[in-house]
Amino acid sequence: MTMLDLKTDELDQPPSAVAPNRIWASLRSSPLALTAIAIIAVWTFIGLTIDLWAPYDPLAPAGDRLQPPNAQHWFGTDTLGRDIFTRTMYGVRYSLPLALIVMFFTVLIGSVIGMLAGYYGGWIDYILMRLTDITAAFPPLILAMCVVAVLGPGIVNSAIALVAVWWPITARLLRAEVLSVKERDHVMAARVNSASDRRIMLRHIQPLCWAPVLVNATVDIGIVIIAIAGLSFIGLGSTPPTPEWGQMIYEGAGRYFNWWIATGPGLAIVTLALAFNFLGDAFQKALDPRRGEG
Amino acid sequence: MTDPLLSIRNLTVGFNRNDRDIRAIDDVSLDIGSGQCVGIIGESGSGKSVTALASLGLLPKQAWFRGDILFDGSSILGASESQMRSIRGRQIGFVFQDPMTTLHPLHRVGDQIAEAIRVHNRGISKAAMRERVISLLEDVAVPEPHRRIRAFPHELSGGLRQRICIAIAIANRPKLLIADEPTTALDVTVQRHLMETLEDLIGRYDMSLMLISHDIAIVHDIATDVHIFLKGNVVESGPVDRVISAPEMPYTQRLIAAVPSLDPDQKRLEGKAQSATSDTIESRAASVEPLKRRSQEGWPASAPLLSLHRVSKHYGNLPRGQEDNLDHPSFAVRDVSFDVHPGECHAIVGESGCGKSTLLKCIAGVLPVSDGAIRYKGDIVGADRRSLPPHFREQVQMVFQDPYSSLHPRMRVFDLIAEPLRNLGYGQEEINSRVLEAMNYAHVDPEARDKWPFQFSGGQRQRIGIARALVTRPEFLILDEPVSALDVSVQASILNQLNDIRRLLDLTYVFISHDLGVVNYVAERVSVMKDGRIVETGDRRDILTNPQHPFTQQLLEAAPGKSFYEHLRAGRGQGSQEQSMAD
């Protein structure tokens, strides 16, 4: 029966081909996706323009210490009297770009490894996949902590550490896609037509493999935002007095009567991470309509 | 005459899609009497499956309909879901096309049959159930039913699985069995036996059968009445013999004329009507630049262009001591030798799993042979760039079976066709003119150059595939079931085109097919392949009229529509007699 519901172009696509206009059409019709995009857009806007309209200096005291939220200080002030609202708004300048950069390199490294393993197979596949298994065998945050411990704390080092532990997922996803796409006849046709291995990988296989990677990477940006905050929270990421969300939460930790110190940055993390989660779900729905509409 | 068992009356089914109203079937009426076997014939998209689904009350929710379907006097389209549930399975059985996916992979087939029985007979005892399942398996001619009852679907062949599906469909002795392309996914020899079983069953249990198929020959062998569907309409109905031998509507005539037969004196097939200016391939070719005859320069016509000498191929590693044991199951190709001479079309016929695809990959130089040698113009064909004969990649091209997966969905038509030249490092001007030339030969509209593959039908896509193969000006084409995924009228026009191209460009073909009718139409020499071995090679006429090997005989015997072709010949004879009388 589903046969009847499919247009020819849907029948004809390998499941993970990414068609930008179709994705956009699907995203537009989903309120959740639009909300997610709006949240991400607002945070991006804040990050880009905060210098122009920040009510206070994020690094200098703006009034009395430990004020609860009030008309002057919407999110209250911290132990040094700095405005938490201002610091939270500045915080997106660290978390968002850092998460995007981490994801970019994660996808880059993971997809190169997955592509080579999937395309060549044999011992190359074996070695690369065992390497992937070993990396994936450790809990990512714990492994990232070890890497930072070796490199030394700092916001850049924490990003490097996250890339080093995050790539196996992409590698596995891409390898699985490559394995199925490379059996298509058009890849065989390319081989018969003496396309080089590089050309087959880049031109004939790669464009058809992105759907699961895209979905996963989008959801993972949210998780990486949390991980960056987590590393800062335990003192392995940014150093004081940087207005970084994880670190701000640490400053509020244990101060149960000054609940507002952790609340502002906490809300920030929640909104941004959730937005990426929703966006990932929406991508999933857009890329695989049959699985999406449950 | 008594009331018909199933009566479809002025049924129209439509779908709303993006505010457009698409009619799947339009004002269709047909009757199926008790114990009658009615065939529904149509090409893809003609609405035949929708008719079947409607008869089961299984139209998708988005569909709207007008008209009615009466089963045993009561309306199906008006019935409630619970009423339908008691009709479906008990009164009307259904067999789907693909036996690979219709069975639950994790349940034993015996349990799956038992479940169909239990739905309509609660509280049946275990022993009685077992007895009924076994007798059902016997009905559908599954060998060793006591053992098979415990088998999982993956342990059974496609033919046996389809028999299980039929057993489930007839488990409650329905009055009507609807079979939607029940044998399309199966090999001809299997198909033959399955149809015999089906015929036997409806006779024994006095069932009616609605047989949906794209294959006139199969329907002719079993049905009494036939309805021809075209774009949602019934264009012709009547007793099958009359419709086949004296079709009244032009579409039916074309459809019948498009079927390649086993007649060794097969005339040119009637393909789907070409564009309004039905210009011949010669005039099209003339409109391009004058072509250099690219025929086998410097290669004598008497020497084989392609020569296979004792070629074997196995996958994986063989156990020690088994290296030369050709009977080991790892071998896909076993000791195959044949020659292909310039200008000839050599067909390789075999059923699924016979090793023909593996052989093809070896010939195309993408898979190394395990033993023996493939030579092209006397040079060994290896499996990588370094060990191929000079210009092999330009001179040898391939056309694939599946017009969907063989084209990169994210490349435009022009780029798809130009891709081989880009790999070979040609300049842009040369590429432009060669692509245009190839599009002309392959009947791809030059206007299509910037379109995407999904904008084309299967036949048009296959033409793009052919253009891609012609763009390097090859001498040798490897054709892997190029028409088996296409409707019969499209198939005929592609076959005609392939024949024309071969003649015009002096090409040599290796043509893989499972369909002897198609092979008869295109090939001069035929090799019959079974279990990785070539069991018989010979001229087309000899193979068809005087097959030596038992498997070839079996294959010819099983080819559907024996009576169809006899009828057809008789009909044509009559036609020409009438004509001579008119003269």
Residue-level pLDDT at A11: 45
Query: Letter for the amino acid at B85?
Result: R
Query: What is the number of structural domains in chain A?
Result: 1
The two tokens of residue B506 are: 């002096």
List b or e across B93-131, with b for residues whose CB sees 16 or more CB atoms inside 10 angstroms: bbbbbbbeebbeeeebbbebbbebbeebeeeeeeeebee
CATH code of A183's domain: 1.10.3720.10
Share of chain A above pLDDT 70, in %: 91
pLDDT over 70 at A219, yes or no: yes
Q: How many CB pairs under 8 A join A and B?
A: 82
Lowest mean pLDDT among A37-41, B220-224, B273-277, B316-320: B273-277
pLDDT over 90 at B322, yes or no: no
Q: Which residues of A touch B406 (CB under 8 A)?
A: 184-186, 188-189
Residue A71 lies in a domain: no
Nearest to B393 among A11, A186, A193 (CB): A193
Chain B: residue whose CA lies nearest to A1: B60
Q: Which residues of A touch B316 (CB under 8 A)?
A: none
Picking from B23, B88, B423 by the largest number of A CB atoms within 10 A of its own CB, the best residue to mutate is B423
Alpha-carbon gap, residue B542 to B8, rounded angstroms: 48
Alpha-carbon gap, residue B164 to B159, rounded angstroms: 9
Average pLDDT over residues A88-100: 93
B568 — pLDDT class (breaks 50, 70, 90): low
Q: Which residues of B touch A191 (CB under 8 A)?
A: 366
Alpha-carbon gap, residue B408 to A187, rounded angstroms: 8
Residue A90 lies in a domain: no
Picking from B404, B412, B451, B455 by the largest number of A CB atoms within 10 A of its own CB, the best residue to mutate is B404
Alpha-carbon gap, residue A257 to A168, rounded angstroms: 42
Q: Taking the model in full, what pTM does it have?
A: 0.81
Alpha-carbon gap, residue B256 to B562, rounded angstroms: 14
Residue-level pLDDT at B288: 44
pLDDT over 90 at B468, yes or no: yes
Its domain, for residue A274, covers: 96-287
Share of chain B above pLDDT 70, in %: 90
Q: Which residues of B touch A11 (CB under 8 A)?
A: 404
Task: Give whole-number Cα distances, A243 to A154, B110, B225, in Å.
Answer: 14, 67, 82
Residue-level pLDDT at A276: 96
pLDDT digits (tens, 9 = 90+) for B79-121: 888 888 888 888 888 888 877 788 888 999 999 999 888 888 8
Residue-level pLDDT at B414: 93
Cβ-contact A206, A115 below 8 angstroms: yes
B289 — pLDDT class (breaks 50, 70, 90): very low
pLDDT digits (tens, 9 = 90+) for A151-161: 988 888 999 99
Query: Letter for the amino acid at A154?
Result: G
Q: Name the more confident of B141 and A2.
A: B141
Q: Which residues of B touch A196 (CB under 8 A)?
A: 423
Residue A67 lies in a domain: no
Picking from A191, A204, A209 by the largest number of B CB atoms within 10 A of its own CB, the best residue to mutate is A191
Picking from A4, A200, A204 by the largest number of B CB atoms within 10 A of its own CB, the best residue to mutate is A4
Tokens 């019709």 belong to A29
Residue A192 lies in a domain: yes
pLDDT over 50 at A140, yes or no: yes
Residue A207 lies in a domain: yes
Nearest to B211 by CA among B385, B394, B422, B51: B51
Residue A9 lies in a domain: no
Judged on CB neighbours under 10 Å (0-12, 13-18, 19+), A198 is: exposed
Residue A235 lies in a domain: yes
pLDDT digits (tens, 9 = 90+) for B364-422: 988 888 888 999 988 888 777 677 888 888 899 999 988 888 999 888 999 999 999 99
Q: Do B423 and A193 touch (CB under 8 A)?
A: yes
Judged on CB neighbours under 10 Å (0-12, 13-18, 19+), B353 is: middle
Q: Do B410 and A185 touch (CB under 8 A)?
A: no
* B37-41 vs B208-213, strand pairing mode: parallel
Q: Which residue numbers of B have CB closer than 8 Å to A's CBs? A: 15, 24, 49-50, 53, 58, 60, 62-63, 361, 364-366, 385, 393, 396-398, 400-402, 404-410, 419-420, 423-424, 452-455, 457, 465, 468, 472
pLDDT over 80 at A70, yes or no: yes
Average pLDDT over residues B312-318: 83
Average pLDDT over residues A214-236: 93
Lowest mean pLDDT among A213-227, B60-74, B107-121: B60-74
Q: Which residues of B touch A184 (CB under 8 A)?
A: 405-406
Q: If you average pLDDT over every residue of chain A, what do you get? A: 87
Q: Which residues of A touch B15 (CB under 8 A)?
A: 4
Nearest to A208 among B49, B393, B410 (CB): B410
Q: Name the more confident of B263 and B445.
A: B445
Nearest to A17 among B364, B397, B410 (CB): B410
Identify which of B389-398, B467-476, B484-493, B558-567 has the greatest average pLDDT.
Answer: B467-476
SS3 B367: coil
Nearest to A186 among B60, B407, B472 (CB): B407
pLDDT digits (tens, 9 = 90+) for B188-234: 888 888 888 888 888 888 899 999 988 888 888 888 899 999 888 88
ipTM over 0.85: no
Residue A37 lies in a domain: no
Angle between helices A260-287 and A20-28 (to 10 degrees): 120
Q: Which residues of B touch A185 (CB under 8 A)?
A: 400-402, 405-406
